[in-house]
């Protein structure tokens, strides 16, 4: 047999995976910003923050990043944005067409993969298969997240006493979509009120999601559909401009928090 590949063997491959992962993980046990949820809003925030030199973690419970951005709606993979949302397609180099005046449509896999790639290239630490479990609070502020490997939550009850670990940070962004998982850990303790999202109204929802993107609790910023859940805004239709714009706004707010 002609040897086509280099001689690295199983032990070298194992060492490279474990050492590279743990080295990176250890350097992000303390970070500037942790974004929980790697959908369109979270990834946009990650890209903006990391490109400005802010040490950023994206914590995602799925194996894949992208959230609802892989599909445009109704299981059909065309992503729409209303103007001026096409500027994000321009920035990412996503081909698109103007479907009607001010309404733009692109391949969702193209847009989603380019956004994931942009967040990685900007230098965010991408931590997938990690399920957010709880917040860390200190002196009345959100100061970190408690996380565990996602498969732990699927273990039988008899062996679920697998303790998680915690990561410390200056700011957490809840980008977990409609479920607003991070904000809900505060709501369940009566530390925060969440109104729950209302019926669909795309034009109203898009504007308000961006406008209401904010720090809802010291150290906790909401972005994307989590904003609608918190403020009782109409649910979003299958369009993404406000998810991307809200992510950008969340990044600005988080950067101000980090810089004090
Ligand atoms: O739902 P998702 O795409 O959130 P988004 O950025 O965008 C919403 C749109 O996709 C769409 C819409 C507007 O067009 O209505 O729904 O607000 O992404 C949320 C991400 O959070 C992850 C989840 O897997 C997904 O990738 N997530 C949810 N719970 C957890 C989590 C958790 N406990 N820990 C970590 N990640």
With the most atoms of ligand 1 within 8 angstroms of its CB, the residue from 65, 82, 112, 176 to mutate is: 176
Whether residue 14 lies inside any domain: the answer is no
Whether residue 15 lies inside any domain: the answer is no
Summarize pLDDT for 221-246 with one digit per residue, the tens.
999 999 999 999 999 889 999 999 99
Summarize pLDDT for 133-167 with one digit per residue, the tens.
999 999 999 999 999 999 999 888 777 688 999 99
Summarize pLDDT for 69-111 with one digit per residue, the tens.
999 999 999 999 999 999 999 999 999 999 999 999 999 999 9
Q: Does residue 206 surpass a pLDDT of 80?
A: yes
d(CA 176, CA 4): 44
CATH assignment at residue 36: 3.50.50.60
User: Could you please report the per-residue DSSP string of 110-170?
Assistant: HHHHHHHHHHHHHT-EEE-SEEEEEEEEETTEEEEEEEEEGGGGGS-GGG-----EEEEEE
Summarize pLDDT for 22-78 with one digit per residue, the tens.
999 999 999 999 999 999 999 999 999 999 999 999 999 999 999 999 999 999 999
Tell me, using a 6 A CB cutoff, whether residue 111 lines ligand 1. Answer: no
Whether residue 24 lies inside any domain: the answer is no
Question: DSSP secondary-structure letter at 233?
Answer: P
Whether residue 203 lies inside any domain: the answer is yes
Tell me, using a 6 A CB cutoff, whether residue 89 lines ligand 1. Answer: no
Its domain, for residue 53, covers: 32-259
Number of domains the chain contains: 1
Question: Could you tell me the distance, in angstroms and rounded to a whole number, from the CA of residue 42 to the centre of ligand 1?
Answer: 8
Whether residue 8 lies inside any domain: the answer is no
**Ligand 1 nearest atom to the CA of residue 182, by list position:** 33
Whether residue 20 lies inside any domain: the answer is no
Given this model, what pLDDT does residue 167 score?
98
Tell me, using a 6 A CB cutoff, whether residue 164 lines ligand 1. Answer: no
Summarize pLDDT for 182-196 with one digit per residue, the tens.
999 999 999 999 999
- Average of pLDDT values for 102-121? 98
**Ligand 1 nearest atom to the CA of residue 236, by list position:** 15
Whether residue 184 lies inside any domain: the answer is yes
- Average of pLDDT values for 193-201? 95
Question: Could you tell me the distance, in angstroms and rounded to a whole number, from the CA of residue 66 to the centre of ligand 1?
Answer: 8
- Average of pLDDT values for 6-32? 98
């Amino acid at each position: 047999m002609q040897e086509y590949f280099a001689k690295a063997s199983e032990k070298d491959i194992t060492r490279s995976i474990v050492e590279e992962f743990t080295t990176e993980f250890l350097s992000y046990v303390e970070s500037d910003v942790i974004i929980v949820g790697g959908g369109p809003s979270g990834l946009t925030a990650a890209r903006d923050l990391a490109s400005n030199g802010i040490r950023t973690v994206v914590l995602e419970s799925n194996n894949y990043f992208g959230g609802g951005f892989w599909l445009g709606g109704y299981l059909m993979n065309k992503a729409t944005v209303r103007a001026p949302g096409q500027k994000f397609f321009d920035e990412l180099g996503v081909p698109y067409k103007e479907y009607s005046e001010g309404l733009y449509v692109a391949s969702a896999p193209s847009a989603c993969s380019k956004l994931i790639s942009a967040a990685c290239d900007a230098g965010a630490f991408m931590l997938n298969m990690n399920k957010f479990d709880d917040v860390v609070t200190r002196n009345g502020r959100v100061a970190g997240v408690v996380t565990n490997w996602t498969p732990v939550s699927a273990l039988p009850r008899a062996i679920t006493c697998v303790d998680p670990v915690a990561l410390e940070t200056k700011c957490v962004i809840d980008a977990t979509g409609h479920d607003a998982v991070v904000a809900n850990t505060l709501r369940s303790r009566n530390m925060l009120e969440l109104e729950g999202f209302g019926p669909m109204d795309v034009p109203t929802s898009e504007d308000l999601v961006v406008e209401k993107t904010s720090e809802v609790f010291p150290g906790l910023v909401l972005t994307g559909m989590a904003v609608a859940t918190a403020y009782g805004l109409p649910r979003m239709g299958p369009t993404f401009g406000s998810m991307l714009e809200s992510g950008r706004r969340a990044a600005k707010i988080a950067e101000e928090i980090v810089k004090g």
